């Protein structure tokens, strides 16, 4: 096998990183060159008021990371970009029209009502196969259209495609992330022109779709000068969850995955979509994966519940040590259960107060201190995970014998242990950087550094990372 290096730009909803991935003799190694916070900013005044992503604040460390990648590896083979899904920037005459909205902005509520007046949710599901979430791009587009923010001739670029545009000048829509919008026909695998038309979105708003593994272009000359070399940008699973699923170190087919960070995405990989009524009612999504696969999964409010609670306590002047808090939560032995998917837990704000209210309504004891809240959060997430794994298996007919937890949540021993206990299945935890690994492995294949299907990419990840296994404890359910 040959060796070489690629650079992955991986943007999450709370932090981003630029990673150098080296592939040598069937082993992949990551070197995190830049890590930076990603914090949305609220504006209260004017027609663009609301919660926004500050994209230029992300672009600076991205360029810095690429500069360092080229310095470390002058023969860098390619650059690949992934980020959270759903959100987009609007280009008018090639220029970005303001900062993109965050999916947690409240403007989507009106978008949901107006969209469903035009097209019933059942019909939307039959076409896109996407689980209902008020944050889906389709509702954001409707809200933007109603607010007069869209004009004929505008182009919408999903976040990784927007970064790619700044790097190369090319306008495309990568397919896995396009599948999170609600405007992709899941069977035809292309934009649904009829959905766009019925929603009053002009032809041309949505760019041509390309698959992961496509060369988008080389760096624009000024970017090349800034970064230090001429490097091609290639598409990967640009939806972070698509890349995370590529980074699942599974050696057999009988697994479910939980990609757990700000969100937890719980499901299985399939050859085709499941679009029946049971899947719709269970609110399962059919997102596009690499190599034409379907990510049949459910979005569960993930560690957002914990990070937003910590933000609240810190704002109130408390010193929070997460490791100590998780240990204290574990020592409690049990905790309150609430519905982790309650929509009231979606926007930023006083999370402990909202969780207290959810517990009260569920007839559960109201947590009294941070350790009790953290216990309730992890226990409720584990319960939601176990139900989602069981439902994914039932709806798809897939045999699930093990659960792979990847992403930041794989470092949370309490969460992994409770998930094993609640599901009755072993949990294999790691790698933390599954998304960056998936991004790197996809590029490695495009560059010819590895050959084979997803099983080969996953075997390379499994060979290169150390994993932790949690067996379900009998009687602990």
Active site residues: 240
Query: How near is the Cβ of 264 to ligand LFR at its closest, in Å?
Result: 9
Question: Comparing C-alpha atoms, which of 414, 428, 261 is closest to residue 331?
Answer: 414
The whole-angstrom separation of Cα 379 and Cα 419 is: 8
265 binds ligand LFR (CB under 6 A): yes
Site residues for ligand LFR, 13-32, by CB under 6 A, read 13
Task: Determine which residue in the list 102, 241, 306, 391 makes contact with ligand LFR, applying CB under 6 A.
Answer: 241
Nearer to ligand LFR by Cβ, of 125 and 263: the residue is 263
Burial 245-267 (b: 16+ CB within 10 A, else e): bbbbbbeeeebbbbbbbbbbbbb
Give the count of residues interacting with ligand LFR (CB under 6 A): 14
Smaller CB separation from ligand LFR, 86 or 377: 86
The region, left, alpha or beta by phi > 0 then psi within -120 to 50, assigned to residue 127 is alpha
CB of 8 to ligand LFR, least distance (A): 15
Given the complex with ligand LFR, which of 402 and 406 has the nearer CB atom? 406
Stretch that binds ligand LFR, among 72-80, 233-241, 356-364, 419-427 (CB under 6 A): 233-241
Residues 6+ apart with CB under 8 A from 40: 51, 52, 53, 54, 102, 104, 348
Q: Which residues pair with 7 in a beta bridge?
A: 20, 79
- Of 372 and 433, nearer to ligand LFR (C-beta) is 433
Please state, as a whole number, how many other Cβ atoms lie within 10 Å of the Cβ of residue 325: 21
Taking CB under 6 A as the rule, which mask of x and - marks residues 272-301 in contact with ligand LFR?
Answer: ---------------------------x--
**263 part of the interface to ligand LFR, by CB under 6 A:** yes
Nearest to 437 by CA among 251, 284, 248, 228: 248
Alpha-carbon separation of residue 132 from 128, 167, 281, 322 (angstroms): 10, 33, 10, 32
The Cα 406–Cα 460 span in angstroms is 15
Buried-state track 30-48, b at ≥16 Cβ within 10 A, e below 16: beebbebebebeeeeeeee
Tell whether residue 82 is a contact of ligand LFR (CB under 6 A): no
Q: Which stretch binds ligand LFR (CB under 6 A): 73-81, 106-114, 234-242, 446-454?
A: 234-242
d(CA 6, CA 20): 6
Q: Contacting ligand LFR (CB under 6 A), which of 10, 73, 144, 240?
A: 240
Q: Which is nearer to ligand LFR, 52 or 239 (CB)?
A: 239
Query: Looking at 21, 38, 53, 84, which residue binds ligand LFR (CB under 6 A)?
Result: 84
Cα distances from 225 to residues 8, 219, 220, 231, in angstroms, run 19, 9, 9, 11
Contact stretch for ligand LFR (CB under 6 A) within 80-88, 121-129, 226-234, 366-374: 80-88
Q: Is 115 or 136 the residue whose CB approaches ligand LFR more closely?
A: 136
Per rule CB under 6 A, is residue 65 in the interface with ligand LFR? no
| Residue from 85, 232, 367, 409 binding ligand LFR (CB under 6 A) | 85
- Write out the residues near ligand LFR by the rule CB under 6 A: 12-13, 84-86, 103, 239-241, 261-263, 265, 299
């Amino acid at each position: 096998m040959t060796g070489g290096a690629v650079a992955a730009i991986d943007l999450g909803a709370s932090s981003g990183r630029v990673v150098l991935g080296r592939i040598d003799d069937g082993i992949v190694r990551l070197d995190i060159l830049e890590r930076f916070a990603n914090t949305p900013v609220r504006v209260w005044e004017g027609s663009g008021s609301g919660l926004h992503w500050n994209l230029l604040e992300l672009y600076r460390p991205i360029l810095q990371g690429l500069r360092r990648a080229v310095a470390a590896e002058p023969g860098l083979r390619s650059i690949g970009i992934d980020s959270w899904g759903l959100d987009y920037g609007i280009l008018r005459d090639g220029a970005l029209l303001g900062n993109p909205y965050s999916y947690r902005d409240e403007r989507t509520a009106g978008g949901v009502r107006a969209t469903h007046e035009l097209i019933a949710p059942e019909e939307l599901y039959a076409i896109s196969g996407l689980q209902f979430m008020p944050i889906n791009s389709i509702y954001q587009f409707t809200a933007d259209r109603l607010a007069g923010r869209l004009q004929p001739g505008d182009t919408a670029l999903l976040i990784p495609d927007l970064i790619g545009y700044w790097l190369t000048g090319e306008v495309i829509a990568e397919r896995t992330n396009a599948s999170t919008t609600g405007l992709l026909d899941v069977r035809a695998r292309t934009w649904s022109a009829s959905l766009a038309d019925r929603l009053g979105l002009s032809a041309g708003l949505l760019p041509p779709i390309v698959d992961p593994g496509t060369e988008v272009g080389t760096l624009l000359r000024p970017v090349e000068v800034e970064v230090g070399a001429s490097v091609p940008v290639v598409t990967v699973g640009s939806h972070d969850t698509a890349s995370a699923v590529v980074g699942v170190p599974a050696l057999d087919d009988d697994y479910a995955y939980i990609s757990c960070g700000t969100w937890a995405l719980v499901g299985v990989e399939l050859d085709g979509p499941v679009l029946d009524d049971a899947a719709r009612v269970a609110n399962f999504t059919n997102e596009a994966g690499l190599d034409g696969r379907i990510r049949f999964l459910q979005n569960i409010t993930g560690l957002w519940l914990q990070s937003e609670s910590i933000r609240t306590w810190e704002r109130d002047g408390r010193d929070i040590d997460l490791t100590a808090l998780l240990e204290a939560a574990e020592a409690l032995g049990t905790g309150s259960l609430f519905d982790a998917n309650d929509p009231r837990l979606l926007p930023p704000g006083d999370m402990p107060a909202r969780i207290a209210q959810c517990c009260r309504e569920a007839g559960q004891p109201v947590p009294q201190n941070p350790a009790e809240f953290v216990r309730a959060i992890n226990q409720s997430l584990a319960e939601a995970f176990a139900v989602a794994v069981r439902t994914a298996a039932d709806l798809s007919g897939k045999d699930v014998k093990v659960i792979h937890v990847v992403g930041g949540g794989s470092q949370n021993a309490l969460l992994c242990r409770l998930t094993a206990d609640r599901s009755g299945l072993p949990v294999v935890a790691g790698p933390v950087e599954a998304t960056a690994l998936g991004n790197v492995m996809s590029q490695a294949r495009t560059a010819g550094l590895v050959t084979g299907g997803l099983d080969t990419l996953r075997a390379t990840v499994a060979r290169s990372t150390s994993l932790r296994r949690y067996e379900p404890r009998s009687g602990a359910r």
